[in-house]
Structure formats: structure tokens, C-alpha cells
Amino acid sequence: MPKILIATTNKGKLEEMLAEFKDLNFEFLSLKDLKLDKINLDEPYDTLEENALHKAKFFAKKSKLLTIAEDSGLFVNYLKGAPGVFSKRYGRNDKERVDKILENLKDVEEDKRKASFRGSACIYDPKKDSYTIFNNKVNGIITKKFITKSRNGMPYNSIFYYPPLKKTFAEMSILEKNQISHRGKIINEIKYHLTKQFNFKQIIASGGILIRDRKLLMTKRRDSRPSFNNKWEFPGGCVDKSETIIEALKREVKEETGFVVDPIEIIPEILTKTESKYNYQVFLVFYICKIISGKFKTAEAEVAGHGWFTFDEAIKKDLLPLNDIYLKNHKKLLKKYIN
């Protein structure tokens, strides 16, 4: 199971994130789990986005793990956006920070006590040295007094009133708050991102063994992954959403070779291979195909070369593993069509 670090020492924030992430197929670790919680990292920037990136990158490099970090702040309209990015440094402790805001808004009418919680989160991938930023906000009103004690590290929740639910954030359960808060909205965006980008995928692909003059066509693969690059294979590719296998076969073969083909016989075996490094499993189906029309035209982005081969010539090539297995397992069938 892939590991992801949540880079926060704030118990309340960690609790809110884990409550939503528990149904994902990842192992989430805290800074305490990795004994990194004693590091007092500065938040030196004037924007939430820069601080989130700074934290995520620092702890991703330390841990060598995909890392999520977040920065958020309370922006009070009457105070010209204060405390904003400096919310954590608005006082020496939680009580002082809350008292300072209430004092600064003393005798200010309700319609002028509008405020927003704003948050930015960053997912940093140390292997690719890449990151994604997420932003969101929620509007509310600052109460005239301290309402109720909030969860650890979230003092402003006690004075941030959310009119649609007629509650302060401190009065809400974690799941209730996550449905409407700035952080809750960001967490849901992160969940979608993680599911889309990193969850294990199962892929169906089809390949075509094109026959002409009792020889078969193979192409040399162009791929950014070294273990796949310059390997020989049969043209074909993944089945897209709403496509049948035959539709995908015809589309992929035409894109890679320029030929319009008609499948005439299915090879009676579905092979599968799991690529743990790239987090997917492929299921491969092959068809023997006759060429209906067209001239060979290289898809330069995917194909580095091509050739027509007899069986004995093809089997000597440096093939991708599943293509090699198909040739070896089905020599008798293929000999009906090729020399």
C-alpha cells in the first residue's frame, strides 16, 4: 500500500484529514510517526500557497514520501484581512489570538463582522520533483464572544459562525465541518486527485498481428520509460471509455500504422502483467488481422521503427514480455498465416 505523509503537527487538522482519507487505499503517516514532529519549520512567505508548498517540499525531501501540507488563515474584512496569512502568529497562544480579534472588533456591528477561512494545500512528489496546489474558502461571521472550546490547534473555530448551519465551527462534528469548510473542500479535491493519479489501475488493451505476404508487422516502441523504450511489439493500445475491444483495436492500429484492418481470428488467450512501479495491471487481447486499406504511416510520438518479419525473424527480436509470450505460446496458430 503506498505511503503518504501528512505534514502537520496540528492535531485538529490531522484529525480532519484522516477522517476523510480513511477509505482511500493509501497508508497515511504523520510527522510524529516519522519522528519529524520536533522540526520547527518557519512559514516565511506572504501567501498561503507559498507556505503550503514550502512545507510540503521540505518534508517530502526529508521523508522521500509523497507529502501533503496545508496552510490556512482567518481573514476578517473589518481588519483589512488580518490576521490572514499570519493567523498562527497573531498572538503567543490560542487564547491571546482569539481575545485579540474580539477586542479589535469590540462594538462592531454584525453586518461588519464578515470573515472567511481560506486554505491552500500542496501535494509534493519528491520522485518527480512536482507538485499540485489546491485552494478553497468559506465565508462566515465573527461572533461577539467566545462560544465553546475548539479542537486542538484551531482557536478561531470558536468565534467563526457559519450562518447556513447556525453554528460555529467549534460546535460542529468533524464530518459536519468537513462538508462545508475550506479544508473539507480541499480534502475532497485531494481525494479525487489521489484516486485519479495514484490508485492502482486495471487496463484492457488490444493488439493486432497484421499479416501481409505471409509476414507479420511489428513496431519499435518509443517510450519515456527505459524498460519499454525501443522494444518491439504489435500495434495496438488501451480500450477507451465506451469503446469495444474491436473498436479500440481498429482505432489504435490505424493511429500507429495508417492501416485500416479487419480482425479475422482472436488468439485464444488473455495475458496479464502487473507493473508495480507504474501502479497498473494490463490485460492484453490479440487478434490476427488482415489489412483492408491504407499505407504505412508512422505515429512518430509512439513508434521509433517498424518491419515485416517471418516467425523465426520475429521471435529473435527484443520484444515486450507479453508480445514475446504470445509468439511463443501460439506458434502453431500463427504458422497458418506466416512463414
User: In sequence order, which residues have a C-beta less than 8 Å from that of residue 185 and are 6 or more positions away?
Assistant: 136, 138
pLDDT given for residue 144 in this prediction: 94
pLDDT given for residue 43 in this prediction: 87
pLDDT tens digits, one per residue of 186-219: 998 999 898 878 777 889 999 999 999 999 999 9
pLDDT given for residue 147 in this prediction: 83
The answer to whether 289 touches 316, Cβ cutoff 8 Å, is no
Claim: this prediction has a pTM higher than 0.75: no
Rounded percentage of the chain residues whose pLDDT exceeds 70: 100
- Say yes or no to pLDDT of 237 above 80: yes
Rounded percentage of the chain residues whose pLDDT exceeds 90: 76
Give 232's pLDDT tier (boundaries 50, 70, 90).
very high
pLDDT given for residue 301 in this prediction: 73
Question: 199 — alpha (psi -120 to 50), left (phi > 0) or beta?
Answer: beta
b/e for 303-314, b at 16 or more Cβ within 10 A? beeeebbebeeb
pLDDT tens digits, one per residue of 247-276: 999 999 999 999 999 999 999 999 999 987
**What would the mean pLDDT of 163-189 be, rounded to a whole number?**
92
The answer to whether 302 touches 256, Cβ cutoff 8 Å, is yes
In degrees, rounded to 5, the angle at the alpha carbon of residue 77 between the alpha carbons of residues 74 and 79 is: 85
pLDDT given for residue 302 in this prediction: 80
Measured CA to CA, the distance from residue 310 to residue 334 in angstroms comes to 10
Q: Terminus-to-terminus CA distance in the chain, angstroms? A: 47
Measured CA to CA, the distance from residue 17 to residue 123 in angstroms comes to 13
Question: What H or E segment, with its residue span, contains residue 137?
Answer: strand 130-142
pLDDT given for residue 329 in this prediction: 96
Q: Which of 174, 172, 173, 142 is nearest to 156 (CA)?
A: 142
**Which domains are seen in the chain, by residue range?**
3-198 (3.90.950.10), 202-334 (3.90.79.10)
pLDDT tens digits, one per residue of 42-80: 888 999 999 999 999 999 999 999 999 999 999 999 999
CA atoms within 13 A on the CB side of 285: 16
pLDDT tens digits, one per residue of 8-48: 998 889 999 998 888 788 899 999 999 999 998 988 899 99
**What would the mean pLDDT of 141-165 be, rounded to a whole number?**
90
pLDDT given for residue 72 in this prediction: 95
Report the catalytic residues: 71
Measured CA to CA, the distance from residue 133 to residue 123 in angstroms comes to 7
pLDDT given for residue 145 in this prediction: 92
**What would the mean pLDDT of 303-330 be, rounded to a whole number?**
95
Higher pLDDT, 276 or 233: 233
Give 101's pLDDT tier (boundaries 50, 70, 90).
very high
